[in-house]
Amino acid sequence: MKPIVTADDVSRQVKTPDGELSILDGITLTVMPGDAVAITGPSGSGKSTLLALLAGLEDPTSGLVHLLGKELGILNQDEKAALRAGNVGFVFQTFHLLAGLSAIENVEIALELAGYDNTRPAAADLLDRVGLTDRVNHYPSQLSGGEQQRVALARAFVVNPKVLFADEPTGNLDAASSGLIADLFFDLRQQFGSALLLVTHDASLADRCDRILTLGVGGRLQS
Amino acid sequence: MLLFRRDWREAGLPAIALALVVAVLAVTSVGIFNERVWEAMQSRAAQSLGGDLVLQAHDPIASRVVDQAKILGLELSQQVEFPSMILTAAGSPRLVSVKAVDEKYPLRGTAEVAEQPYGQGSAAGKIPATGESWAHSRLFAEAQFDTGDIVQLGEKSFKVSHALITEPDDFGSFFRMAAPRIMIRLSDLSATGLITPSSRVHYRIQLAGTRDSLNAFSKWLDRQDFGGLERRSVQDAQPSVRTALERASNFLGLASLSVVIVAGAGIFIAARFYARRQSTTAAVMRCLGASQRRILRIFIFRLVRVALTASLVGGFLGYAGQSFLSVLAEEKLGLSLAPPSLWPLLTGILIGLITALGFGLAPLLKLPTVSVLGILRGEEGVPPPSMWLTIGLAVFTSGGLIFWQADETVLTLWVMGLTVCLVAGLTFGGWMILWLVTQIRGSRPTTRYVMSSVGGRRGMGVIQILAFGLGITALLMVTVMRTQLMEGWMNSLPSDTPNRFLMNIQPDQRASLMKFFAEENLTTPGLYSMTRGRWVGHNGKPVEPQSFATLQAQRFAAREFNLSPSDDLPQTNRIVSGTWWTAGQNDEHLLSLEREFAQTLGVGIGDEMTFRVAGVDLTGRVSNLREVAWDSFEVNFFVITTPAFLVDRPGMLITSFFLPAENTDTTIRLINQFPSVTLFDVDSLMQQVRQIIQQASVAVQYVFIFTLLAGIAVLTAAVQASATERSRDAAVLRALGASTQRLWLTQFFEFALLGAVAGLLAATSAVATASILATEVFGFTLSPGWWVWGLGCIGGALGIGVAGTAALRPVVSRAPLKSLISD
């Protein structure tokens, strides 16, 4: 079985007025299909940067990242986008729904970008599974935070992704909503069998993953 | 500069600064350019006076006047004009109008002479030599002499060296000049012995110089008491030239103010964006205990600081930029432009500040009342500014600026009214169309994304449509002005416009003259009867010329008018007040007056006017006021009467006709057959009017460039205002797998849709505005083609689509994917 995601001695530095600052330093990891990996660490340890590098949203300063067997460093932006379409799902802390589209259209657009036709039934089905049957035509501004995150979950899972990148999926929600979303999130992951890379501060969420990677100050992997 | 650099880093302020730089750049450039071209045009118009200012009196003009003019650096030319008789070897004595001129004559324009009467005139470039004279062509036939012959004027003999074809300064008086002209040197005048204390003489001084010197001289003159000294400036020049100049001024004024309005729309958008981005700062300030007044003061101070810096930058750029335009204008128009003054620069900077506050203040006013709780919850934004306050401030500001720029009350009111309608129409129309867009169902999600991005953010979409719509309206307006309005104006003066006036035609010559016209293949708009009469009574009271406040009114009241009876309203006239008489009223004694003439004399509809005609007093009632197209070169009258008013009164006929340049023999045959008629050549006058139209046309094209720049500023502001949201959306789509091409297309179609809607509405607005302005302000009917809508819609879609997508290039090509992730 081939790994879904690998990082090989990946580092990331940024320039600051005081010189170069190391965000990540020599990260090496492997994620196999179906694995659930939590990335934790204190604020500023570079965990979200690591997630962005692994998903091909950012480029490392050095080191190699492979996603679905492809080396990201040699792909241009369009090739990375094509690789993500239909294979990768995202769940963001601040939802990032498209304000001009209704709930179902937000889900459909992921299917369309993945090359599917007749997107409506699948999108409606996913919204039904996240409990938003009555809210399909609502716009993001007409939905609560928890409901918006459910739409985001439907959008992420509707393409049956091989890997899911989640960045603090419950970070913007109250405690009650947070628990419900977390349950829904892990249930769906189990149903779809996607690999998961989850950035979180929440120990209870991290505990629900197969492995926990902890980043320390300076972006070094501690465990 | 340090503070400006700090402001520059504040999101939103750069957009305000950019919009202001463009606005002030445009206003300053156009202002200086307008001023310089206008002065050059005025200078050309001054040719019909022979100078920028003319002073005239029945007594020798006081030497103090000459001294003061010299002190102020004005150029002077002196002339003496009087009626006298000439004697020739062959003919009988003839009445002539003698004009003695000094060597500087004329200060503006040139006299044209020919070797033979009615010959092809060429610029004289000098005045008659000592002992020589130039005689009007008509005099050659009347007095039976030829060039080289000797004529006796008083005690001195003069050789007639040339035929005088035109004088630059005879247009103002040619209808009144009954006797043909003979011109001699001023230094020869005393030898004639014709000037005695009892002579009926006009002493005249022509003056020319800079506007400042002329203004200073006029002010000095106002403070003196020179009884009987008449002043004539370009404003009093021949109505045809004055009307053309006024229309040119309207064209340029209207075009330049469109730049101001468009820039204002850009500033409003940028200020709204700035306010939205500053909402967190305002909320934090409130949490820290700052009062609402203090918060407002801080943000207004920032706005003013940025406005002042940007206005200075724009002003100096405009000052530099206009010199480039002026060089082009000098080359293309052959105008010699005066050096620019600093006034337009100061005006531009002041307009920048006013525009910044007028259009940018409304969004900031909501900042102190921003919801702290909302902001702390992470909801960025401030409530939209009050619509009434926004519109009120914008209308008040644009109205003030329009008035300042156009200096025309009627034009200002029209444009303000139309602007309000335009804003309301664009807002309502935009809202409706965007609502309709959101109702379109069943398309693919990315198409829906484009539709719903436009329709879903309807508030922002409407503002963008409003801004784009204003910009496109201004561009279309200038385009329509460049083509249709200019064409309409040019068409009002076709190539066969009458270029000869024939006066003093006796009623019994009518038939033979019409026969002559038929034989020579000449067409005439018709023969008009006219009778001379002096205004002696107003509403039963005697008219006393000295009782009128203005010199012009005194002149009108003291002279005789040509009264013309007519059943029908002349084609080039338009009733502006009252009604034209019906067939049933032809027996009544009714009068129709030219509007400005009536205003000058303080006469209104319903007033009674008494005219003394051949010793008989005739009283009529004013039934209507007319606007006269003086630049139509048709025969026009200040006073038209019902046929009954002048029945059985002695009168003569007047007509005009077009004579092709090559038909010089026709003139000679006409004068030989009808020696008592007076023929006037108005070709050079018409040429002046045509040149003014061409100059205005070229100037409007330059203004078009600035309108385009202002439009780009609006687009930039609108793109910047929505860049954050678009950038985030692009990042989400990119993360979900969208290709660059798809992102480009998405942005393009979104902007193209906005552009098409704005263009469609703008075309309607531009056509309505141009049609109303053409009819109400410029005085002719406009029939714009469908191309305006096509250009608005397609041009708007392509222009906004391409420009908006290009402006968002950094957003699309470097979609900030990292921004989707927290940390």
Instruction: State the pLDDT at residue B133.
Output: 95
Residue with tokens 């009017």, as numbered in its chain: B689
Count Cβ atoms within 10 A of the Cβ of residue B778 and give its class: 0-12 exposed, 13-18 middle, 19 or more buried.
buried
Contact A88 B734 (CB under 8 A): no
Q: Do A77 and B740 touch (CB under 8 A)?
A: yes
CB contact under 8 A, B823 and A44: yes
Find which of B38-52, B103-117, B321-335, B519-533 is predicted with most confidence, using mean pLDDT. Answer: B103-117
Task: Name the residue in chain B with its Cα closest to that of A95.
Answer: B820
Percent of chain B topping pLDDT 70: 77
In eight-state DSSP terms, residue A137 is T
Contacts of B738 in chain A (CB under 8 A): 81, 85, 113
- Is pLDDT at B29 greater than 80 in this prediction? no
Q: Shortest CB distance from B737 goes to which of A84, A93, A199?
A: A84
- State the ipTM, two decimals: 0.83
Residue in B449, B728, B821 nearest the CB of A51: B821
pLDDT in tens, B217-273: 988 888 887 767 777 776 665 566 666 666 666 666 666 667 777 778 778 878 887
Query: Do the Cβ atoms of B366 and B299 come closer than 8 Å?
Result: no
Q: Classify residue B380 as left (phi > 0), alpha (psi -120 to 50) or beta.
A: beta
Asked if A81 has any chain B CB less than 8 Å from its own CB, the reply is yes
What is the mean pLDDT of the segment spanning B656-661? 82
Q: What are phi and psi of A10, to 5 degrees?
A: -85, 130
CA distance A80 to chain B (A): 8
Q: In chain A, which residue's Cα lies nearest the Cα of B750?
A: A100
8 Å CB contact between B624 and B480 = no
Question: What domains are defined for chain A?
Answer: 5-214 (3.40.50.300)
Q: What is the pLDDT of residue B256?
A: 67
Residues B371-379, mean pLDDT to the nearest whole number: 62
| Residues 36-55 in A contacting B (C-alpha not used; CB under 8 Å) | 43-44, 46-49, 51-52, 55
B142-151 average pLDDT score: 86
**Record: contact A85-B732, CB cut-off 8 A:** no
Nearest-by-CA chain B residue for A167: B821
Q: What whole-number distance in Å separates Cα of residue B574 and Cα of residue B14?
A: 51
For residues B92-105, average pLDDT: 86
Give the one of A83, A96, A139 whose C-beta lies nearest to B732's C-beta.
A96
Q: Do A113 and B740 touch (CB under 8 A)?
A: no
> Who has greater pLDDT, B787 or A52?
A52
Mean pLDDT of chain A: 90
H/E element, B85: strand B75-88
The answer to which of A175-189, B230-244, B394-408 has the lowest mean pLDDT is B230-244
pLDDT in tens, B672-681: 788 777 777 7
A37: closest CA of chain B, how far (Å): 17
CB pairs under 8 A between A and B: 112
Could A84 and B728 be called an inter-chain contact, meaning their C-beta atoms sit closer than 8 Å?
A: no
Q: Higher-confidence residue: B706 or B56? A: B56
**Contact across the interface for A100 and B457, Cβ inside 8 Å:** yes
Per-window interface: A 111-170 vs B, CB < 8 A: 111-114, 119, 139, 155, 167-168
pLDDT of residue B329: 62
A101 HSE (CA, 13 A, CB side): 26
Of B381 and B331, the structure prediction assigns the larger pLDDT to B331
CA B667 to chain centre: 36
How far is it, in rounded angstroms, from Cα B379 to Cα A40?
Answer: 28
Asked if the C-beta of A99 comes within 8 angstroms of chain B's C-beta atoms, the answer is yes
Contacts of B285 (CB under 8 A, 6+ apart): B294, B295, B298
> CA–CA separation, A38 vs A168, rounded Å?
10
Task: Flag whether pLDDT at A78 surpasses 50.
Answer: yes
**3-class secondary structure per residue, B395-408:** HHHHHHHHHHHHCC
Task: Please give, rounded to a whole number of angstroms, the shortest distance from the CA of A170 to a CA of chain B.
Answer: 12
